[in-house]
Structure 1
Amino acid sequence: MYFAALLARTEDGWEASDTELDDVEALSDLTDLARDASVDEDTVLVYIEQEDAWFGVVRVDGEEDPRIYVSDAAAAARSSYGEILLTDELLGREPGAEDEIAALEELVGLDGDEADDPEFGPGDDGAAGRRTAAVDTDDDPEAVPAGPIGDASILADLGLSEQALLTLRTDALAEIADALGADEVLESVR
């Protein structure tokens, strides 16, 4: 089960609203949603969680690039909403690298004979009658690290230290809202 909320900072404190992510397909859509909720281009936080699996925070300050923190990148990678947050830049990949890798994989074996291909070892043909490529997981460009990823200091100036954020696991939103002084307004939308 997912939960998403927007916290927009105003002169009077924080305003909270729950949000639907049905129309959000990319980080840019999420950033636009946050900017629309912004009051005078002040800070907006987008919080997304998949119950007991992972949570993510996106911080948008005016027209600056969004800052992102994800509590468990590997768990988020298995989620459609998590994939929105796990950008190539956040994962340290070249933009578009995933598309290039997919295109290269399609080119392997176009002639239908992989036996002469140096990337394929002398492995077992197996039941499928195909040789398998030796995979080095250390060099796997699609590998997503387990654990936290992103800007752990994303909330430090708002009252939640980097170390405190890194220790949050379940019910993180309550801890974050408490540190921000936004627990009451957040409860109204939860």
Structure 2
Amino acid sequence: MYIAALLARTEDGWQASDTELDDVETLSDLVELAREGSVDEDTVLVFIEQEDAWFGVVRTEDLEDPRIYVSDAAAAARSSYGEILTNELLGGNDDDPSADLDSLDLDGTEDGESETSDPDEDGDSLSGGLAGDTGTTASAAAGPVGDRQILDDLGMTEKQLLGLGSDALSEIADALGAAEILEAVR
């Protein structure tokens, strides 16, 4: 079961609406849905969560490319809406969305960098991305992928985002000051 909600920022704060994903087949469909909920082309966040297995956030602003974060790429790639997001993030293979998980560096290390080094020491963010390590298996590729700073300017840091538990969408909405609004549509 999926939970989907849309939060649109307005001059008066956040507006929330329950989001039906029945007609969403591509990222373009999802972005169009988000932009329809936009007030004066301001920030719109689409939250998708599947039974505490994974969650995703898609952020749109004006006509800029959407920003995407997925909490667990391997779990998301096995679900219909998660597949849409992971395909975009991983340059997905439409025939086999999990195929690119084999080459994904989900622990935030760069090519050749050991997992024990601290990527924050030199100011780099933990952003996950494609790496040349093809020895990683899809089962080991479970982890976050995408823009880990997607909510930084809205009140939730990268560290907080990475530390979210099973009630992630409520915690995000709380950090944004929109918890009551989100609960009203859930």
| Pairwise same-fold verdict (TM > 0.5) | yes
Find the counterpart in structure 2 of residue 50 from structure 1. 50
- Percent of residue pairs bearing the same amino acid type: 72
1:57-96 equivalences in 2 (<5 Å): 57-88=57-88, 90-91=89-90, 93=91
Please tell me the residue identity of whatever aligns with 2:184. Answer: S
Find the counterpart in structure 2 of residue 155 from structure 1. 151
Distance 1:148 1:142 in 2: 15
Structure 2 CA distance for partners of 1:20 and 1:141, relative to 1, 3 Å: farther
Please state whether the residue corresponding to 2:32 is helix, strand or coil. Answer: helix
Structure 2 CA distance for partners of 1:181 and 1:42, relative to 1, 3 Å: same
Segments of 5+ residues of structure 2 without an aligned counterpart are 97-132
Deviation, 1:146, is 1.2
Please state whether the residue corresponding to 1:87 is helix, strand or coil. Answer: helix
Deviation, 1:186, is 0.8
Please tell me the residue identity of whatever aligns with 1:11. Answer: E
Aligned residues: 149
> CA offsets per residue over residues 117-168 of structure 1, 9 Å max, x none?
xxxxxxxxxxxxxxxxxxxxx5389958310000010000000000000011
Which of 134, 137, 148 in structure 2 is aligned with 1:139?
134
Deviation, 1:169, is 2.4
TM-score, normalised on structure 1? 0.73
Deviation, 1:52, is 1.7
Please tell me the residue identity of whatever aligns with 1:139. Answer: T
Distance 1:160 1:98 in 2: 32
Please tell me the residue identity of whatever aligns with 1:174. Answer: S
Please tell me the residue identity of whatever aligns with 1:40. Answer: D
Deviation, 1:29, is 0.3
Distance 1:98 1:143 in 2: 16
TM-score, normalised on structure 2? 0.75
- Confirm or deny: 8 A CA contact 1:160 1:176 kept in the other structure: yes
- Confirm or deny: 8 A CA contact 1:98 1:142 kept in the other structure: no
Please tell me the residue identity of whatever aligns with 1:151. Answer: D
Deviation, 1:51, is 1.2
Structure 2 CA distance for partners of 1:99 and 1:50, relative to 1, 3 Å: closer
> CA offsets per residue over residues 17-76 of structure 1, 9 Å max, x none?
011101000000000000010000000000000012000000001100000000000000
Deviation, 1:87, is 2.4
Find the counterpart in structure 2 of residue 130 from structure 1. none
Larger CA deviation: 40-49 vs 143-152: 143-152
